[in-house]
Structure 1
Amino acid sequence: MTAEQLLTADLSGIGEPRGEEHGRARLIRDSWAQIEPDVDELGRLFYANLFRIAPETRDLFPVNLQVQRSRLVRALVHVVQMIDRPDELTPFLEQLGRDHRKFGVVARHFEAVGEALFAALADTAGPVWTPEVREAWVHAYEFVSGAMRTAVESERGPATWFGEVVAHERIGWDIAIITVQAPEPIPYRAGQYLSVEVPQRPRLWRYLSPANAPREDGTLDFHVRAVEGGWVSRAIVAHTNIGDTWRFGSPMGRMHVDPGTGREVLMVCGGTGVAPMKALLEDIAQRPEQPRTQVFVGGRTWDDLYDFTSLRKFSYSNTWLDVIPVVEEDDGASGAERGTLADVVTRYGAWADHDVLVCGSPAMIRATVSRMLVAGTPLDRIKYDPFTVD
Structure 2
Amino acid sequence: MDATKISLVRTTFKAVAAVDDGPERLARSFYAILFSHYPATREFFPAAMDVQRDRLLKAIGYVVENLEDAERILPFLAQLGRDHRKYGITDEHYIAVGNALITALEDFAGNELWTDEVDLAWREAIALIASVMMEAANAESGPPTRVGRVVEHKQILRDVAVVRLQLDRPMQYGAGQYVSVSVPGRPRMWRYLSPSIPSNGEGQIEFHVRRVAGGWVSPAMVGQTRLGDEWLISSPLGALGVDRSRNRDQLMIASGTGIAPLRAQVMEMAMRGNNPRVHLFVGGVYPCDLYDLETLWQLARTNPWLTVIPVSEEDTNPWWHLDPTPVAPPGMHERLTGKLGAVVAAFGAWEDRDIQIVGSPSMVQATKYRLQAKGTPVENIRHDPLL
**Pairwise same-fold verdict (TM > 0.5):** yes
Per-residue CA deviations over 1:240-299 (Å, capped at 9, x if unaligned) read: 010000001110000111223222111100010000011001110111212211100011
1:54 aligns with 2:38: yes
Residue 99 of structure 1, aligned match among 83, 86, 102? 83
Paired-residue identity, %: 44
| Equivalent-residue separation in structure 1 for 2:155 and 2:316 (angstroms) | 27
Gap regions ≥5 residues in structure 1: 1-19
| Equivalent-residue separation in structure 1 for 2:263 and 2:106 (angstroms) | 45
Which amino acid is the alignment partner of residue 339 of structure 1? G
1:258 aligns with 2:243: yes
> Equivalent residue for 1:358?
357
| Equivalent-residue separation in structure 2 for 1:177 and 1:102 (angstroms) | 24
1:151 aligns with 2:147: no
Which amino acid is the alignment partner of residue 124 of structure 1? F
| Equivalent-residue separation in structure 1 for 2:91 and 2:135 (angstroms) | 10
> Equivalent residue for 2:203?
218
Which amino acid is the alignment partner of residue 367 of structure 2? T
> Equivalent residue for 1:142?
127
> Equivalent residue for 1:75?
59
Per-residue CA deviations over 1:138-188 (Å, capped at 9, x if unaligned) read: 111111111111111112222111110000000121000000110211111
1:170 aligns with 2:169: no
Asked whether the equivalents of residues 285 and 318 of structure 1 are also in contact (C-alpha less than 8 Å), the reply is: yes
SS at match of 2:244: coil
Please report how far the alpha carbon of residue 216 of structure 1 lies from its aligned counterpart in structure 2 after TM superposition.
2.5
Gap regions ≥5 residues in structure 2: 318-324, 328-333
State the number of aligned residues.
Answer: 369
SS at match of 1:365: helix
Dislocated runs of 4+, deviation >3 Å: 331-335
Per-residue CA deviations over 1:64-88 (Å, capped at 9, x if unaligned) read: 1111111111111112211222332
Asked whether the equivalents of residues 152 and 163 of structure 2 are also in contact (C-alpha less than 8 Å), the reply is: yes
Please report how far the alpha carbon of residue 31 of structure 1 lies from its aligned counterpart in structure 2 after TM superposition.
1.5
| Equivalent-residue separation in structure 1 for 2:356 and 2:220 (angstroms) | 29
> Equivalent residue for 2:320?
none
Worse-superposed segment, 331-340 or 110-119: 331-340
Residue 100 of structure 2, aligned match among 116, 124, 129? 116
Worse-superposed segment, 369-378 or 192-201: 369-378
1:28 aligns with 2:13: no
1:316 aligns with 2:297: no
| Equivalent-residue separation in structure 2 for 1:156 and 1:273 (angstroms) | 32
Asked whether the equivalents of residues 172 and 200 of structure 2 are also in contact (C-alpha less than 8 Å), the reply is: no
Which amino acid is the alignment partner of residue 15 of structure 2? Q
> Equivalent residue for 2:331?
none
SS at match of 1:385: coil
Q: Aligned ranges for residues 275-294 of structure 1 at < 5 Å?
A: 275-294=260-279
Per-residue CA deviations over 1:119-154 (Å, capped at 9, x if unaligned) read: 111111123222121111111111111111111111
Asked whether the equivalents of residues 362 and 386 of structure 1 are also in contact (C-alpha less than 8 Å), the reply is: no
RMSD over aligned Cα atoms? 1.6
Please report how far the alpha carbon of residue 384 of structure 1 lies from its aligned counterpart in structure 2 after TM superposition.
1.3
- Superposition TM-score, scaled by structure 2 size: 0.92
| Equivalent-residue separation in structure 2 for 1:290 and 1:163 (angstroms) | 32
Q: Aligned ranges for residues 187-336 of structure 1 at < 5 Å?
A: 187-330=172-315, 335-336=334-335
| Equivalent-residue separation in structure 2 for 1:259 and 1:75 (angstroms) | 27
Worse-superposed segment, 117-126 or 150-159: 150-159
